[in-house]
Amino acid sequence: MKLLLTYLPHHLPIMPPYALGYLNRFLSVNSTDHITTIDLNARWWQTFHPNILQTIRQATSDEELTVALQKAANIQVSPDIHWLQEQCKNFDLICASIQYTEQDKLANQLNIKIRGGPAASNPMHEFALLDMLTKKESIDEHQLTSFDFNQGEYCSDIIPLRTSTACWYRKCRFCTHYNYKHFFQFPLEDIASNISSRHLFFTDDMIAHPYLLKLAPKLLNHEWWIQLRPTLDITSHLQSLKNNGLKVAAWGVESGSQHILDAMDKGTRIDEISHILKKSKEAGIINIVYIMFGYPGETDKDRKQTISWLQDNANCIDLLSSSLFVPGGIEKRPPAISKIPQLPKIGTIDPVFNNFRELTLNIKRNFL
């Protein structure tokens, strides 16, 4: 049987999609079938807009990069169905990694039934997919990602990696990631030997701090981006992490209201997070803050507290990555919600920060 793993066109291809690299490795190790991986998003941009990618990769000034990003932002990604069908022919099975609803709609048009990812309708995880193939007698669940992509098709040479199979915390009530997998951390030596680029993005929802402190010295000659849990135990180590190559930290703050953080079971304190971000900024780390609006039970007071907190800490935040809670993403652990509160209008949030261009330029200068 011939299986195609693909990622459908949607956005500017910054780096290879982690899911494709992981699935390719997992299925190749545990199946005797032929596995092919094609990033159709990268291929679409490389086929129809190669000059955009080349300009971004070769940009040496803020002006060049800004112009190229603006051109890319104005491009409507609406691939021809016949072109996509031609890329996908001659395969017995096609599996698409779906990160955005537009990709899910595209999969419908292509009649791709096997899908995985946060925006996939009726998603299938890797073990169910493996059941459709010719399995080997023994199954090895713990596989590091392997990448066999053409880096020339991407805007950067960043490689996404994971240090574990799941999230060690797994208490955040809005998160359904990895709820079917047990937690396993890969040996540090395996991580170090699997690095094929100077620039790394660790896709773990969060890395356990003791493990991170052991990993960091092995990354001394690299520059890396990581997602962290804002708790005080990491504060005294931020300068050391920076000295070992940490460039960007994305913090799962989620809300400026302690009431909402407690409802989410985040296990964090908003009064401590401000101190953590300040220390991170002082260490020279670029701070990204994840914020979620519209969580069940959020009141107008909670939203105002979040916006006020963001304003108070603006000097320590390089980018605000805000999202709206989508009903259905909540785990079963919380009590049933009979009414989802009215969500705030994006327009009331965006004016708090409007510095995506500045952050992009900072990352270009300091990370790429």
Q: Please name every residue paired with 290 in a beta bridge, in sequence order, or none if there are none.
A: 321
pLDDT at 47: 94
157-366 and 2-131 share a CATH fold = no
The C-alpha atoms of residue 343 and residue 293 are separated, in whole angstroms, by 7
What's the fold here for domain 157-366? pyruvate-formate lyase- activating enzyme (3.80.30)
Q: Which of 303, 306, 305, 298 is nearest to 340 (CA)?
A: 298
pLDDT at 138: 81
pLDDT at 361: 45
pLDDT at 178: 55
Burial 205-235 (b: 16+ CB within 10 A, else e): bbbbeebbbebbebbeebbbbbbbbbbeebb
pLDDT at 257: 97
Contact 268, 312 (CB under 8 A): no
The C-alpha atoms of residue 41 and residue 191 are separated, in whole angstroms, by 27
For residue 288, the surrounding DSSP H or E stretch is strand 286-293
pLDDT at 58: 87
Dump the DSSP string for 238-284: HHHHHHTTEEEEEEEEE-S-HHHHHHHT----HHHHHHHHHHHHHTT
pLDDT at 120: 87
Instruction: Indicate the domain borders of the chain.
Output: 2-131, 157-366
Q: Please name every residue paired with 159 in a beta bridge, in sequence order, or none if there are none.
A: 200
Please give the chain's pLDDT, 368 residues, in tens: 899 999 999 999 988 998 898 898 889 989 999 999 999 999 999 999 999 998 988 888 878 888 888 888 889 999 999 999 999 999 999 999 998 889 999 999 999 999 998 888 888 888 889 999 998 888 887 777 766 677 788 988 888 888 988 888 878 888 766 555 678 888 998 888 878 788 999 988 889 899 999 999 999 889 999 999 999 999 999 999 999 999 999 999 999 999 999 999 999 999 999 999 999 999 999 999 999 888 889 998 999 999 899 989 989 998 888 877 766 443 323 332 223 333 333 333 333 334 434 444 444 444 43
Q: Which of 219, 233, 236, 276 is nearest to 252 (CA)?
A: 276
pLDDT at 182: 78
For residue 357, the surrounding DSSP H or E stretch is helix 356-366
What's the fold here for domain 2-131? Rossmann fold (3.40.50)
pLDDT at 166: 81
Q: Please name every residue paired with 3 in a beta bridge, in sequence order, or none if there are none.
A: 35, 93
Cα 329 to Cα 25, 172, 252, 287, 344: the distances in Å are: 28, 11, 17, 26, 18
